[in-house]
Every structure is written in structure tokens, then in C-alpha cells.
């Protein structure tokens, strides 16, 4: 690559060699798809940790809003219940030849930009260059269409890298069914997705799963374990091999404004790529979930805190939801990359094609469920949380979550309030809060350095950590700021 940037210094022989057609030159190993997969490393114990994973443990489902009409509501981004499952067909032999030679070289050049310019100085080439195959509703294996190699950009390279690591998931039980997305964790078929995708939002514990890869391979799959508390699940493809694991990034190092690319199967349209930026970090949302564990004993969520839980909507009504008995509070990355029904469980990646989040929900401007669609407010579970939960599910069949041991509400809603935060109403004897010196009347304003504005924020941050984790709590008592270190208990699920 360096020779191509300094043509005046080359010898005539070198110049003639460089002018050979691109498909006659050798492809640098560091930029081939296989090399990308190799660099990701083996995934999932007993193999080494997830590819590119950080060492730290911290890390269209449309929901009918229950607040007054016209107010924003949250909606799970997938699966797309009622949408037909689209199976990608194997490519014709000539399709592979179309993206070859000079086009492959152009994509490789763009890939180099992804590793360099796009990773330094923010969102280079933010605009999407993904072009769906013109004669097919579902783009399928030949989803990266390059008609003009001279104008290929970084987004093309990101899509080329990420699409082999994203799958379309069809879940069904009896007459109910829907589609969602997932990301590949290991070459032998571990896949990370959402609990609501594989359980049809708690409607079934034994779904029939069919998974289609970006190159058209179809696998049966079984559920390894679910984590309803953070709406994550791991499934295992049957007799899979040679898959491309996704590379993880450290989501705790993101900045607002960083480039994002969402990849998944909205409305059953597999291999869909959309772009945007990180709109907000450490955003907390609360969603009603039929798959969530009973909230009895879940003291942090005993007070709704002014954020009415939202229910999952089931597309065109072919899926009958069970009655939600609980809700979950999760900390998410907010993005304006278009996320729609069916994107749930898919990848949100950074400017280098590394996983920064698992797409989980969207917001709408209100109205009926038939009006669901992206308005540029989408949410993804941070990769640091997803990584921890996935490893625990694969190792132990389930993941753990922290418990503070306190009944909390919104400080801003209290009479005579002067400060927003999570108001501790009562602590549980022997619990983490009590052992850390917290007591009723304290207002928690920070948790591990993250601002807390209400009880949903506090619950989401506590649940993001594993049981037994230590956390620093900043709180106000009698108008004075104090800090405490707590060792979290374990939420019973």
C-alpha cells in the first residue's frame, strides 16, 4: 500500500507491476475477510475471550406508549412479528465475480481507511453507501453492491467487514412467529441476540429457531441461555463451522458524536446497513417485558419514578403477547442510525467495524402501533455489558446482576426537591446499601462516576454490573456531598 502512495519513487519495473489488473495482484493478508476473522481471535470459553473484547467486566418490536397521546414512547426494535421470514438465497456463481478485481481493491483501500482515517478524527464518510440488490426485497449474500469503485467509502468497508458476522433469526412457536437479528460470537456458532427475539417476548421458552447467515447458509439453533434482566440471550447454531465472529470494542470509551453503523434485518430485510452517530451515552430506559423476572424483592424498581413502563407491540397482530408483569431498566447507547422492527439483536458498530452495542429498542413520536418506524432515536445495549452477559451465559447458563438493596424513587418528585437524583426511601438490612453506610433520605447523584437523575438511572447502572461488583456511590445527605463504596448483592431471577 505504501508503494501506491509514492509513485515517483518507484522503479519502472515496480510501476509496471503496480499497473497490473487488481485481480492479478496478491491481496494483503491483513485486509482479507479471513484475516479479519483471524485477528478477531477465537471466541467463547473454553476458547479464549470474545474477539477484540476488553478485559473489563463493566462493560419492529414496537411498543404501545402508555403515556398521554403525542408523548414519545419506547419500542423494542425487533423481532419483526408478523413480518414474513426472508431466507437469503445462495448467490449465483457470476455474482461473486462481479465484486472482484478493481472492486475488491477499492473495498480494501476503503478498509484501510476504516483502520486509519475513520478511526482518527471521528466520523469519516458517514453517509451510507450500502446499495441493496435491485431485483430482490432481501439483498441476501450479494448485499454489498459496488457499482462505482472510484467512489467507494468507509461505510462500504465497514459493511463488508461486519455483515458476515450478523445473522437473521426466525423464531416461531405454534402459530406465532417473528424475525430478529443476532451477532456471531464464535466460528462454531454461538450467537448473541435479545431475549425478546428468541422467546417472542416471553410467549415461549422452547422456540423453533432458524438462522440465516449473510452468505445464505441456514441453520437450526437452540437457546443456550437467556438474560431477561438486560434482554440478552445466547443461541447455538447446530453443526456450524467456519463462521466469522464479530470484533468487540470497549463501549465505555465512546464519545457523543462518534460514528455508528447499525446492521441487521429490519422488517425481515436481511443485511441492511444504516449509519449515524452516538447521540447520547448512559441513557436509561424502562420497558415492560413479559420475559422479565418477577419484580418481587427487586427493591430498586419498586417505584416507577415517573417513567411509565412500555409494552412490546407485535407488528401486525399475528403474535399474541402475554401480559407483562414486570419491567426492566437498562442503560443504553442512543443513536440516530435508523433502527426499525427486526433490528433487535443486531449489531451497532463503530467506525472500525467493531461491536459497540446490541440493538434493542426504538422510540416513536406516539400514535398507534401501525405507525412504528425509525425517527432517529434508537437504543443499543453497550458492548461491555453484552460481553459480560454473553460469557456468563456460555460458562454458566445464566448471567448475574447487581442488587443495591434499597427502595428508591425520584428525588425531583419529592416535595420541596432542590436536586435531581435517586432518592433512597429505605435500605434493606444487611444489603449492599446498608453495609455501605447509605440510609433513607440520601439522594444518589452518581454511580461509578455516571450521573444519576432518577431511580431508573440507578437501577439500570446497578443491573449492568455483575453480582459482587464494587461500585462508588456519590450521594447528598443533609445538603452535603458524600461518597461510599458498596459491594453489590445478587438479583434473584
Tell me, what's the pLDDT at 49? 53
Tell me, what's the pLDDT at 306? 40
pLDDT tops 80 at residue 304? no
Q: Is 196 labeled as catalytic in the residue annotation?
A: yes
pLDDT tops 80 at residue 463? yes
Residue of 196, 374, 383, 401 with catalytic role: 196
Q: Is 231 labeled as catalytic in the residue annotation?
A: yes
SS (H, E, C) 60-97: CEECCCCCCCCCCEEEECCCCCCCCCCCCCCCCHHHHH
Angstrom CA distances, 51 to 41, 42, 401, stand at 5, 6, 23
Beta carbons of 233 and 195 less than 8 angstroms apart? yes
Residue of 227, 231, 298, 350 with catalytic role: 231
d(CA 34, CA 242): 10
Band (151; pLDDT cuts 50, 70, 90): confident
Q: Is 176 labeled as catalytic in the residue annotation?
A: no
For range 394-398, the mean pLDDT:
96
- The runs of H, that is alpha helices, within 180-334 are 195-198
Domain with CATH 2.30.42.10 in the chain: 402-490
**pTM attached to this predicted model:** 0.74
pLDDT tops 80 at residue 217? yes
CA atoms within 13 A on the CB side of 210: 14
Q: Can you tell me whether residue 404 is helix, strand or coil? A: coil
Beta carbons of 130 and 158 less than 8 angstroms apart? no
Q: Can you tell me whether residue 355 is helix, strand or coil? A: strand
d(CA 291, CA 199): 8
pLDDT tops 80 at residue 168? yes
For range 423-428, the mean pLDDT:
96
Report percent pLDDT > 90 for the chain. 53
Residue of 344, 364, 383, 469 with catalytic role: 344
Mean pLDDT score across all residues of the chain: 75
The class of domain 58-399 in CATH terms is mainly beta
Domain with CATH 2.40.10.120 in the chain: 58-399
Fold (topology level) of 402-490: Pdz3 Domain (2.30.42)
User: Among all chains, which residue has been given the C-alpha cell 445464505?
Assistant: 216
Question: If 0-12 CB within 10 Å is exposed, 13-18 middle and 19+ buried, where does residue 477 land?
Answer: middle
Amino acid at each position: 500500500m505504501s508503494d501506491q502512495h509514492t509513485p515517483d519513487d518507484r522503479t519502472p519495473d515496480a510501476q509496471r507491476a503496480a499497473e497490473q489488473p487488481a485481480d492479478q495482484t496478491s491481496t494483503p493478508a491483513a485486509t482479507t475477510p479471513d484475516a479479519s476473522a483471524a485477528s478477531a481471535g477465537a471466541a467463547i470459553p473454553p476458547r479464549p475471550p470474545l474477539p477484540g473484547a476488553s478485559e473489563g467486566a463493566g462493560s419492529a418490536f414496537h411498543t404501545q406508549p402508555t403515556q398521554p397521546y403525542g408523548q414519545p414512547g419506547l419500542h423494542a426494535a425487533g423481532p419483526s412479528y408478523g413480518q414474513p421470514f426472508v431466507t437469503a438465497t445462495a448467490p449465483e456463481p457470476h455474482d461473486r465475480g462481479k465484486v472482484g478485481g478493481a472492486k475488491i481493491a477499492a473495498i480494501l483501500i476503503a478498509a484501510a481507511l476504516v483502520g486509519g482515517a475513520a478511526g482518527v478524527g471521528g466520523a469519516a464518510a458517514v453517509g451510507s453507501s450500502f446499495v441493496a440488490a435491485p431485483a430482490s426485497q432481501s439483498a441476501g449474500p450479494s448485499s454489498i453492491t459496488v457499482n462505482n469503485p472510484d467512489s467507494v467509502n468507509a461505510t462500504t468497508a465497514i459493511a463488508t467487514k461486519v455483515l458476515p458476522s450478523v445473522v437473521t433469526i426466525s423464531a416461531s412457536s405454534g402459530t406465532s412467529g417473528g424475525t430478529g437479528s443476532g451477532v456471531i460470537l464464535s466460528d462454531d456458532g454461538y450467537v448473541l441476540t435479545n431475549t425478546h427475539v428468541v422467546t417472542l417476548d416471553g410467549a415461549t421458552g422452547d422456540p423453533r429457531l432458524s438462522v440465516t447467515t449473510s452468505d445464505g447458509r441456514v441453520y437450526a439453533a437452540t437457546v443456550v441461555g437467556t438474560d431477561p434482566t438486560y434482554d440478552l440471550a445466547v443461541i447455538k447454531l447446530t453443526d456450524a463451522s467456519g463462521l466469522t465472529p464479530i470484533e468487540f470494542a470497549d463501549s465505555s470509551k465512546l464519545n457523543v458524536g462518534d460514528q455508528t453503523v447499525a446492521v441487521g434485518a429490519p422488517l425481515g430485510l436481511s443485511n441492511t446497513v444504516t449509519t449515524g452517530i452516538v447521540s447520547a451515552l448512559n441513557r436509561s430506559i424502562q420497558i415492560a417485558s413479559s420475559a422479565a423476572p418477577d419484580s418481587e424483592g427487586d427493591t430498586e424498581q419498586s417505584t416507577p419514578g415517573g417513567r411509565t413502563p412500555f409494552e412490546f407491540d407485535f407488528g401486525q397482530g399475528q403474535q399474541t403477547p402475554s401480559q407483562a408483569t414486570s419491567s426492566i431498566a437498562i442503560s443504553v447507547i442512543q443513536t440516530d442510525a435508523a433502527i426499525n422492527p427486526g433490528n433487535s439483536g443486531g449489531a451497532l458498530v463503530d467506525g472500525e467495524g467493531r461491536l459497540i452495542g446490541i440493538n434493542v429498542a426504538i422510540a416513536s413520536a406516539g400514535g398507534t402501533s401501525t405507525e412504528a418506524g425509525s425517527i432517529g432515536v434508537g437504543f443499543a445495549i453497550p458492548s461491555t455489558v453484552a460481553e459480560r452477559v454473553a460469557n456468563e451465559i456460555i460458562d454458566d447458563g445464566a448471567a448475574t446482576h447487581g442488587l443495591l438493596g434499597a427502595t428508591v424513587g425520584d428525588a425531583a418528585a419529592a416535595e420541596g426537591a432542590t436536586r435531581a437524583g435517586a432518592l433512597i426511601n429505605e435500605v434493606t438490612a444487611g444489603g449492599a446499601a446498608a453495609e455501605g453506610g447509605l440510609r433513607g433520605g440520601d439522594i444518589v447523584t452518581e454511580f461509578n462516576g455516571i450521573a444519576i437523575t432518577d431511580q431508573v438511572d440507578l437501577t439500570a447502572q446497578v443491573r449492568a454490573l455483575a453480582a459482587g461488583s464494587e461500585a462508588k456511590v456519590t450521594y447528598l445527605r443533609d445538603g452535603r456531598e458524600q461518597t461510599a463504596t458498596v459491594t453489590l448483592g445478587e438479583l434473584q431471577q
